Chain A
Amino acid sequence: MDKKFIPKITVFHCINAFTEKTHSIFVGRDDFEVKFIKLPCSSMVKDIFLLRAFEAGADGVVVLVCPEGQCRYVEGNIRAKKRVAWVKNLLDDIGIDGGRLSLSNIAAGDTAAATQIIDNALKNLAELGPNPAA
């Protein structure tokens, strides 16, 4: 019988959107493995970092950014949004499905939102399966 699929998820997060509280929601679960990449602003999430995450074996990548209008660097989260959209298309072209990559706005310390984000990502990955290029 197949081993149950435990997805590997890499979380890129802006340090302003992500606090200890949010962090605690992500760790200590046995239904997925998580890696964190901290960024001073979500706009620092370059295309190459997202791709390298998949090269390193991630099944899914989640990018957490501050709510729109609340980026302390004004448009950082908008830049991140545009880049993530671009990379999603590229992932489709590569053939590993852009659905593996997602971006979510989250207010600092919003644990309910964090839980929702994880659950959505897991639901997605259950359908998509493991990264075929891992």
Chain B
Amino acid sequence: MIVAEQKPLSEIKEIIAPYKKILILGCGTCVKTCFAGGEEEVAVLASALRLAYKKDGKEIEIEELTIERQCENEFIRESAPAVSRNQGVLSLACGAGVQALARRFAKTPVLPGVNTTFIGVLEKQGIFTEECSGCGNCRLDIFGGICPVTRCAKKLLNGPCGGSQNGKCEINPETDCAWQLIIDRLKALGQMDNLRKYIPPKNWCTSLSGGPRKLVREDHII
């Protein structure tokens, strides 16, 4: 899923400062799972802002609503009445959701309430890790199911580098060296020969480096 983290309260206060009547719009999918922007988080943020404003002797009217997903019009349109009642929308969805809202509600300022970070998994309750950077050309088959593009800080295809020590990455003693993981996995799979193979330079055209991407499925368009 997409992992995001709610912005610090001080930053959110700055962002919504120009508005007296806002809608905090939550999203029930990815950001709900990582506790950044689901229904509960909308409620907590609204309450926190009301307390903060009261303490500062200022006024604000906050409406709260959460829709299933903010990346699809089918759900976004459900929020239209609420959006029209407010001066601005503080979206707690990922960056894609914020932009989808902005596209539809061109006359209402749509503001980001979370920092979208990565595509990841739930390693265990409360811990999310980055796994995929969407390079557009997946070769997890040769790397034993561990992505060196995402999980190696230097994106090495012929790793590891000289900074790998005790299975940890040089940039953070708590980060596993992806190449140590790859070597261990290939050993377990009996595929150590993969390590002798020279992997040529990656074609980055399919990644963000080639510009923002688009997927068109003609078979689904009428």
Q: A47 to B44, Cβ gap below 8 A?
A: yes
Of B47, B50, B56, the most chain A CB neighbours within 10 A belong to B47
What A residues does B55 contact at CB under 8 A? 94-96, 132-133
Say whether B51 faces chain A, with CB atoms less than 8 Å apart.
yes
**Cα-based distance from A48 to B40 in the complex (angstroms):** 8
Say whether A90 faces chain B, with CB atoms less than 8 Å apart.
yes
Q: Which residue of chain A is the closest to B50 with respect to CB atoms? A: A55
What B residues does A46 contact at CB under 8 A? 40
What B residues does A51 contact at CB under 8 A? 44, 47-48, 51
What A residues does B54 contact at CB under 8 A? 132-134
**Cα-based distance from A90 to B55 in the complex (angstroms):** 14
Within 8 A of A (CB), among B35-93: 40, 43-44, 47-48, 50-52, 54-56
Q: Which residue of chain B is the closest to A86 with respect to CB atoms? A: B44
**Inter-chain residue pair count (beta carbon < 8 A):** 42
**Cα-based distance from A96 to B43 in the complex (angstroms):** 18
Within 8 A of B (CB), among A49-100: 51-52, 54-55, 90, 93-96
- With A47-B40, A93-B9 given, is the CB distance from A133 to B52 under 8 Å? yes
Q: B52 to A94, Cβ gap below 8 A?
A: yes
**Cα-based distance from A93 to B56 in the complex (angstroms):** 13
**Cα-based distance from A54 to B51 in the complex (angstroms):** 8
What A residues does B47 contact at CB under 8 A? 48, 51-52, 55
Residues of A within 8 A of B (CB): 46-48, 51-52, 54-55, 90, 93-96, 132-134
Residues of B within 8 A of A (CB): 8-10, 40, 43-44, 47-48, 50-52, 54-56
